[in-house]
Each structure stands twice: as C-alpha cells, then as structure tokens.
Amino acid sequence: MPVCDVCFRHCKIEEGASGFCGGRTCRNGQIVAANYGKLTSVALDPIEKKPLKMFRSGSNVLSLGSYGCNLRCPFCQNSSISWSQKAFEYKDKAEYYSPEEIVQTALSLRGHGNIGVAFTYNEPLIGYEFVRDTAKLAKQAGLENVLVTNGTASLKVLDEISPYIDAMNIDLKAFSASFYKDFLDGDFQMTKDFIAAAVQTCHVELTTLIIPGENDSEQEMHELSSWVAALEKQCNKKVPLHITRFFPAFKLTNKAPTPVRTIMRLVEVAKEHLDFVFPGNV
C-alpha cells in the first residue's frame, strides 16, 4: 500500500481513501494532493496579519487557503477548514483554481499594494505540490511568496518549495515534546528540524500561542528563545518571535484568555535572548 511521506505520520493510504490530514489521497497507486487548487478561503490581507513584522511591512498579500491539516490543535482558529467535520466536507465543495489563475489574480491586485501570494489558513504543506507550482509561477512573474505553516513536514517537502518561498511564519506551538504529542498529536522534533532548515532558505518568523497552564512558564520560554537564539547564530540571521495571546476557541473553551501581563512578561523573558520579540493579540 502506498505510503505518504509528507510528515511523520507516514499514512498508508488505500486507493481513493484519504490520509489523516484529509488533504492527501491515493490515485492510480500514487499519493497525491486531493486538495490541489481547491480553495476555501481567498483574501487580500495585510502582511502583518500572517504575522510578518520584518518582511515587506505595510504591504498586502493575496492569501489562499484550502482544507485539511496534519495536526489536531484543540484551539484551532480555522477549524472550519482545517480538521472539523465541516472541513472534510470541502472535498466536494471547494472550488478549483489553477496556479495560472492565482498568479493572474495576484498580478491584477498590484495596484492595491499586493506583493504576491500567501499560502495560509489551513495547513498548506499537506498540499505542497500546489504551493510549489503556484509559487514557481508567481516567482517567474516577479511576485513574492509567503508560507504560513505549522512546520510539521519533511525536509523533502521543504526542498520542493524552498526555491520559491521568500518568507515564512512557522508555528512553534510550545517547547515540549509532551505538549506536541499529547495536546496536538504532533511531532516536536520534526517541527524543530523543519524550522532549523527553513531559516537557512528564507526570512523566517516564529509564532508561539501562549495557553494558560499549558505552555506559559518562564522556564519554557527561556528554553524556546535560547534555542531560537542558537539558530540565529548558526545562520547569521535574525528570527523574530511572536508571542501571542490565546482566546477560547473550537474545542478549548474551558480556558480563560491569556492574561496580557503573562504575554508581556514572556516577551521580556524572550528578549533576554532575542532582539526581535513581538506580543500578539494584546
């Protein structure tokens, strides 16, 4: 049975079935992106919304989302297209747009401050083939490409897309293997490996959502920011960190919003190691 090699799950997918993420399938014995070009969300967003603070500030970017995700974050802000029951219903409802159509639309929006294309909203790397093909055409047209990702993907996937990506915002959801495993059904090491490789290829900013009682300790932020500082030294680049406030959402409504004072204190902790740390949602 064919095995998907996008992430750590290595799903064995029968003909016509779907992998764990809901966005990959098996056709004629080959694993392919079932969600290729199938868009659920399109918007012209400020670049700061990605969030990117130190890349093309003040510009807009044509932002695209499909359906499916390979994590199971209970606090997902885009659950309707990522991994809820509604998300998986988009397999038949989402409208197809070719890479050529996307690039033409992006070019037509230059007069509105558009710099290019952002792959975002759901997890774009479960459909990396569409990211690669669209970003390549966009690059050839003189546009820039942005990726917003959870970083749960193999280095093979990164190699496929990295020649065409100008900036990434990658979620570093915590600095704990147990948080990734128990809270997200994810893989901490794969995410760290992806981030470490990505910073060598383009401008990267990281985002950590702070959830009360889960990943909000000063000790964990010391460890996280120290690790990012080591990456900066290794690649001789700055890697901005966004420390973001949690609000109850989706399946995690029993938690109170993160106190603003917690965010600001963790920003100060991170600044002991990093030059560029930004509070979010405050």
Phi, psi of 161 (to 5 degrees): -100, -25
pLDDT in tens, 50-76: 999 999 999 999 999 999 999 999 999
Q: Average pLDDT, stretch 215-243?
A: 98
The percent of residues above 90 in pLDDT, for the chain, comes to 92
Total-model pTM: 0.96
Residue 24 DSSP class? E
Q: How far apart are the first and last CA of the chain?
A: 48
Residue 182 DSSP class? I
Residue with tokens 């802000």: 77
Residue 130 has pLDDT above 70, yes or no: yes
Cis before 257 (ω within 30) = no
pLDDT of residue 90: 66
Using an 8 Å Cβ cutoff, are 266 and 214 in contact? no
Q: How many residues does the chain have?
A: 282
pLDDT of residue 125: 98
Q: Average pLDDT, stretch 188-206?
A: 98
pLDDT in tens, 60-117: 999 999 999 999 999 998 888 787 676 566 667 789 999 999 999 999 999 999 999 9
Q: Average pLDDT, stretch 218-225?
A: 98
Q: Average pLDDT, stretch 224-247?
A: 97
Residue 164 has pLDDT above 80, yes or no: yes
pLDDT of residue 54: 98
| Mean pLDDT, rounded, of the chain | 96
Cβ partners under 8 Å of residue 115, min gap 6: 47, 56, 59, 60, 61, 143, 144
pLDDT of residue 80: 81
pLDDT of residue 94: 85
Residue 67 burial (CB < 10 Å; 0-12/13-18/19+)? buried
pLDDT of residue 93: 77
**What is 24-280's CATH topology?**
TIM Barrel (3.20.20)
Give me the amino acid identity at 237.
Answer: K
Q: Average pLDDT, stretch 161-183?
A: 98
Domain limits, the chain? 24-280
pLDDT of residue 225: 98
